[in-house]
A and B are shown apart, each in its own frame.
Chain A
Amino acid sequence: MKSHISIQDVNAFYGDHQALRNITVEIPQKQVTAIIGPSGCGKSTLLKCLNRLIDLTDGASVSGKIIVDGINVLNGSIDVTDVRRKMGLLPQKPNPLPMSIYDNIAYGPKLHGKPGKKEMDEIVEKYLKISGLWEEVKDRLKSPANKLSIGQQQRLCLARGLAVEPDIILCDEPTSALDPVSSQHIEQQLLKLKTNYTIVIVTHNIHQAMRLADYVIHLYLGELVEHGHANEVFENPKEERTRAYINGTFSIDLKIDSEANLKGKMCPFNFVYAKQALHNLEDGKILKIIVDDPTAVTEVPRGMEADGHKVLIVKEINKTDWEIVIQK
């Protein structure tokens, strides 16, 4: 594992309130790193330290080192616009700029060089394609970005961030404002992008972290509780607090309306059976299925969310079996 971002002994304060305590961790290159932890534990703060967006918060101060490509980004004397260029940010709520779709993408490249018209057209097309938006907007590039759906706006923001050619993509709960289909769209794009980019994603959604992450950082009350490869952290956390957090987000008491045991069934049959079982239920009712096919653990929830159902729980119940709870 090659490290891309080296966070060394970082402390962050808002006034007297310490939001991050002695954080030291390496973020691997060209992988997806998920930052998980309960609300208020400092996830967004850590992200804001990486691209120095925290400078814009009144009364905030940061100490320590964050080394990216041999440069300490926390060093006060470096050009902060260079730091930010290296890192695209995908916010929680899509924030298109008050201009056309085209100009939203062109805004960044225009700041950092003056590409000609033809070159710019190519840039816009390229990044809209990468973010999977091109087909939907290619005929109305000049129309206002605010007319796009929320999901489309988020992909626009992704394209806009990529257009300044960063090496790193930072995402702060990028799908929490989106519907399941749009969320899945974004997740798919991120998975594709990790071959070329280092991705850091803050998420409240453990299933999302499981689906996306190669590496996991667990924060709790501003402290680094645990970090490591995703499968180790999720399957066998070293720290009790991590185990509690991961289980805690699962153990919601639910009234299960129907159950289906799909053990021994392979993909995509388990998916088909699950769909059939859901079909017989009314809207809002809850179905629990048990699967033992490892690919089903990721594919079934993804397919269900794509169909507009809500996946509430994905939980390992023993060495081989998983429980998936879906709300129609």
Chain B
Amino acid sequence: MDKLIEERIFKILMVVSLGIVVGSLFMVIAVIIWNGAPSLSISMITQTPKGGYYLGKEGGILNAIMGSLYLAFGSVILAFIISLPAALSLQKDYIGKTRLAYYIRLSLDVLWGTPSIVYGAFGFIVMLYFGMRASLLGGIIVLTILQLPIMIRSMEEVIKLVPYELKEASYTLGATRFETTFGVVMRQALPGIFTAVILAFGRGIGDAASVLFTAGYTDSLPRSLLDPVASLPLAVFFQLGTPFPEVQRRAYASALILLLIVLTLSIVSRYLSRKFTKNIIR
């Protein structure tokens, strides 16, 4: 009898928690579509703000869309270039078992938990020191630092899951550590590495606090890496801050665009990573 009650309670708990998960996701999406879709228009995504945009007049947020894409792609590429070798070197075949690796993991975990405004403030101070002003480059660098812990730690986790027998097979054929890492480990971990990149991309494109001081905000498209650049999260923030309901609705439209970008990317990546998985050993 007791067992039956346990079973029942656990079942209720599962249903409730799943309900909360699915329900809140659904609500977030519904609210944003509900409020944003009516204001979504072609001009929203093809034009930069005209004079008086924030008063409810003509224009769009192309500046923020492009700005966010530049920032996110730039930082993800940079972070990837740094993260992959870092994650690979944390294998036990390399430095994985050393004290150094322990401290690296520890600091990455601390960094992961650090609020992004701290990164923003840090970036701001460094840029002041070098006499740089808010720019695309500054934003990319700070976002890269923000993404590193996510990317390295998630890559490391999937690399750790590569069965040891696979590495052993490679070693017995006379492969070196390097050949084994790139010939076997990378192949086996590829779908997971992909996921890590998408995760970091999501965090990069969605973060407002770290780009507030470092990338700035502007109504025009950046012409060089040293120009300030707008971003979608800040576009949402500023538009929501105006007293005009019409502009506030555009904030929701901007949020919807942000959502669509992230959604598209994760669908595409799902599709691509499925292509990679056909050779994976389970």
Partner of B278, one of A56, A96, A144: A144
Give the CA-CA distance A91 to B183 in the complex, in Å: 20
> Nearest-CB distance from A15 to chain B (Å)?
14
Min distance, Cβ A88 to any Cβ of chain B, angstroms: 7
A81–B279 CB distance below 8 A: no
B168 touches A95 (CB 8 A): yes
From 210 to 234 in chain B, residues with beta carbon under 8 angstroms from any chain A beta carbon are: none
Interface segment among B118-126, B151-159, B169-177, B242-250: the answer is B169-177
B81 close to A (CB within 8 Å):
no
What 1/0 mask marks residues of chain A from 85 to 116 whose CB sits below 8 Å from any chain B CB? Answer: 10111010101111110000001100110000
Surface stretch bound by B, among A156-164, A227-235, A318-326: A156-164
Contact of B171 among A84, A99, A112 (CB under 8 A): A84
Tell me the nearest residue of chain A to B276, going by C-beta.
A98
Contacts of A95 in B (CB 8 A): 163, 165-166, 168-169, 281
CB <8 Å contact, A146 and B173: no
Decide: B169 and A111 in contact? CB cutoff 8 A. Answer: no
B97 contacts chain A at the CB level, 8 A cutoff: yes
Give bound CA distance, A97 to B97, whole Å. 25
> Which residues of chain A have C-beta atoms less than 8 A from B279's C-beta?
98-100, 144-146
Interface residues as binary, A45-62 with B (CB distance below 8 Å gives 1, 0 otherwise): 000000101001010000
Interface residue count for B (Cβ, 8 Å)? 26
Question: Which residue of chain A has the shortest Cβ distance to B176 in the bound complex?
Answer: A81
Contacts of B167 in A (CB 8 A): 56
Does A82 sit within 8 A of B, measured CB to CB? yes
Q: Mark B92-119, 1 if CB is under 8 A from A, else 0.
A: 1100010000000000000000000000
Q: Which residues of A contact B132 (CB under 8 A)?
A: none
* B280 lies within 8 A of chain A by Cβ: yes
| Interface size, A (range) | 20 to 34
Q: Does the CB pair B174–A107 fall under 8 Å?
A: no
CB nearest to B184 among chain A residues: A97
- Interface set, chain B 265-282, CB cutoff 8 A to A: 278-282
Taking a contact as CB atoms closer than 8 A, the residue among A82, A91, A99, A144 that contacts B174 in the complex is A82
Is there an interface contact between A146 and B281, defined as CB atoms closer than 8 Å?
A: yes
Task: Please pick, from B173, B188, B280, the residue contacting A108 in the complex, using a CB distance under 8 A.
Answer: B173
Q: Report the bound CA distance from A289 to B106 in whole Å.
A: 66
Cα distance A265–B32 in the bound complex, in angstroms: 87
B133 beta carbon closer than 8 Å to chain A: no
CA distance A161 to B170 in the complex (A): 10
A89 pairs with B175, CB closer than 8 A: no
- B184 cross-chain contacts in A, Cβ below 8 A: 97-98
Interface flag for B58 (CB, 8 Å): no
Cβ of B7 within 8 Å of any chain A Cβ, yes or no, is no
Which of B97, B165, B175, B278 is the one whose CB lies under 8 Å from A81? B175
A178 to B280, CA, bound (A): 21
Given A96-B281, A100-B279, verify A161-B173 contact (CB < 8 Å).
Answer: yes
Chain B residues with CB under 8 A of A56: 93, 167-168, 171
A84→B173 contact, CB < 8 A: yes
CA distance A161 to B171 in the complex (A): 11
Q: Is the CB of A164 within 8 A of B173?
A: yes
Give min CB distance, B171 to chain A, whole Å. 6
Judge whether B188 and A81 touch: CB under 8 Å.
no
Verify B172–A97 contact, CB threshold 8 A: no
* A56 CA to B166 CA, complexed, in Å: 13
**How many Å from the CB of B255 to the closest CB on chain A?**
40
Say yes or no: is B160 at the interface (Cβ < 8 Å to chain A). no
A56 to B172, CA, bound (A): 11
Which residues of chain A come closer than 8 Å to B187, judged between CB atoms?
97-99
B280 in complex: contacting residue of A84, A85, A100, A146, CB < 8 Å: A146
Which chain B residues lie closer than 8 Å to A88 at the CB level? Answer: 172
CA of A58 to CA of B98, assembled, Å: 12
Contact with A along B129-147 (1 / 0, CB 8 A): 0000000000000000000
- Which of A89, A93, A96 is the one whose CB lies under 8 Å from B172? A89
- Report 8 cross-chain contacts, Cβ distance below 8 Å, ordered by A residue: A53-B172, A58-B92, A85-B173, A87-B172, A91-B168, A107-B183, A111-B173, A111-B175
Residues of B within 8 A of A (CB): 92-93, 97, 163, 165-176, 179, 183-184, 187-188, 278-282
Binding site for B on A (CB under 8 A): 51, 53, 56, 58, 81-82, 84-85, 87-89, 91, 93, 95-100, 107-108, 111-112, 144-146, 157, 160-161, 164
- Beyond A88-B172, A97-B187, A107-B175, list 7 extra A-B contacts (CB 8 Å): A56-B93, A95-B163, A95-B165, A107-B170, A111-B183, A144-B279, A160-B173
6 closest A-B pairs by CB: A85-B174, A95-B165, A108-B173, A89-B172, A81-B174, A98-B188
